Amino acid sequence: MAELYNFLPKPSQATANQLSVYLDEVNWVSDTNLLTLSVGLLTDASDVTSLGLNLHYDGSKVSYTADTAYSLTQSQADTVGQGVDNILTSGLSSGAGHTQKSDTSDLDGSSLTTAYVDAYWTTTYDASTSSMSAWPGSTDVKLYDINFTVTDTSSPLSFGFSADSNDLKEGYSLSTASQNDISIDLTLTPDDVVQAITLGYEDSAGERTALGNQSLVFVSSGSDNTTVSMTGGTLATLSQDLSFTHVEFSSQSYDHGVAISDVVLQLRDIVGLSTLSGTQKVAADINGDGTVAISDVVSTLRHIVGLDTIEQCALVDSSDQVVTSLTSATVADLTLIQLGDADLSSTFVDIT
């Protein structure tokens, strides 16, 4: 058995109001053409009571190997290595499990997958607490192992996850990273990692756009700044590892998107009328001290009236954590944020 390179590892930390599905391991047995995905869940809440999850795949290259002894309770033995194992760490659950379906509705929004394995869990009612039992009882848990038989080994395999919003914890959504396309290369092991860094930006509705053909300057605390080009939203191969405080464009003649509307959002956050979170908070917190304060408002106003120009941009990962280092082995889909642009209105389009 060989452990393959994992394009969807566990995030460094949970993100508020998001369910992060990840792959704990990806294992391949070439003798039997058996591919095993170990699926895990990371969340900031230990009281998840329901989860609807679809695992999409390309049916022209793999087939789902159904579990022969599927169960939803610990009292009934599941067959180790036969598809779905160790679903619960504690408690009881009801649900439906792991039925192969055709993805005619394109639930994951990907043309690369054609079918999916459907599963959902809902905990039972606990009369002693007059509430649904907490499941899985942890903020980080292994959900299941699932097996596929590979029928075409000539090229990388495509997978992905989607969620049934009716079966998610109220107020929660599946994380962006969990919904990205997953490519599994049967020849690529953890020791064969190659750089693959894609960059994009998002609007306030979460609509994502790949960055155009531009150059980014990675600014360090010293004077050794590094300029790296981008093509079609992909960063050029790094010749060295980079540590930086922020990034800037080589040209400042672009739509920064910083306006009075951003000041309003900063002030509403400061006085408690509304709360900024995620990438919007990163943008509003110009000095990066973790708090939106009057000093950040002043910086925004000085930019608006032309006394200063906010050139700094931040890179954040799928967990909305600011990234300050990249290596020649980094594989990531990063989001660029213009500091000061709290409403995420910047288009980063050259206006000259």
pLDDT bin (cut points 50, 70, 90) of residue 222 is low
Residue burial 283-322, b: 16+ Cβ < 10 Å; e: rest = bbbbeeeeebbeebbebbbebbeeeeebbbbbbbbbbbee
Check: CB of residue 279 under 8 Å from CB of residue 205.
no
CA distance 204 to 180: 19
What does the pLDDT look like over 276-304, one tens digit per residue? 998 999 999 999 999 999 999 999 999 99
DSSP for 121-151 reads EEEPEETTTTEEPPSSSSSEEEEEEEEEEES
Does residue 156 have a cis bond before it (omega within 30 degrees)? no
* Burial class, 247, CB count within 10 angstroms (exposed 0-12 / middle 13-18 / buried 19+): buried
Q: Which domains does the chain have, with CATH numbers?
A: 2-190 (2.60.40), 196-338 (no CATH)
For residue 292 the two structure tokens come to 């939106």
The mean pLDDT value for 60-81 works out to 60
What's the pLDDT score for residue 227?
92
pLDDT band, very low/low/confident/very high, at 117 (cuts 50, 70, 90): confident
Does position 351 have pLDDT exceeding 80, yes or no? Answer: no
CB atoms within 10 A of CB 219: 18
Calculate ∠ Cα 101-103-107, nearest 5°.
Answer: 120
- Given the structure tokens 């093509």, which residue do they identify? 231
Per-residue pLDDT band at 11 (split at 50, 70, 90)? confident
Looking at every residue in the chain, the average pLDDT score rounds to 83
262, containing H or E segment: helix 260-271
How does residue 32 score in pLDDT terms, banded at 50, 70 and 90?
Answer: very high
Residue 92 has pLDDT above 70, yes or no: no
| pLDDT confidence tier of residue 68, bands split at 50, 70 and 90 | low
Instruction: Look at the alpha carbons of 41, 42, 46, 50 in this order and tell me if their dihedral is positive or negative.
Output: negative
Q: Give residue 93's identity as a one-letter amino acid code.
A: S
Instruction: Assess whether pLDDT exceeds 60 at residue 91.
Output: no
Give the other-Cβ count within 10 Å of 149's Cβ.
Answer: 12
What pLDDT, on a 0 to 100 scale, did the predictor assign at position 28?
94
In the chain, % of residues over pLDDT 90: 40
pLDDT in tens, 234-259: 898 888 889 999 999 887 778 889 99
Task: Report pLDDT digits (tens) over 299-324.
Answer: 999 999 999 999 999 999 888 889 99
Would you state the pLDDT for residue 221?
75
Report, as an integer, the average pLDDT of 72-93: 44
Compute the distance between CA of residue 204 and CA of residue 208 in angstroms, rounded to an integer.
10
pLDDT digits (tens, 9 = 90+) for 191-220: 776 788 889 898 887 778 888 888 899 998
The helix/strand count (H/E) of the chain reads as 3, 23
Task: Kindly indicate the confidence band of residue 113, based on its pLDDT and cuts at 50, 70 and 90.
Answer: very high
Determine the pLDDT at residue 78: 46
- The values of phi and psi at residue 300, to 5°, are -65, -45
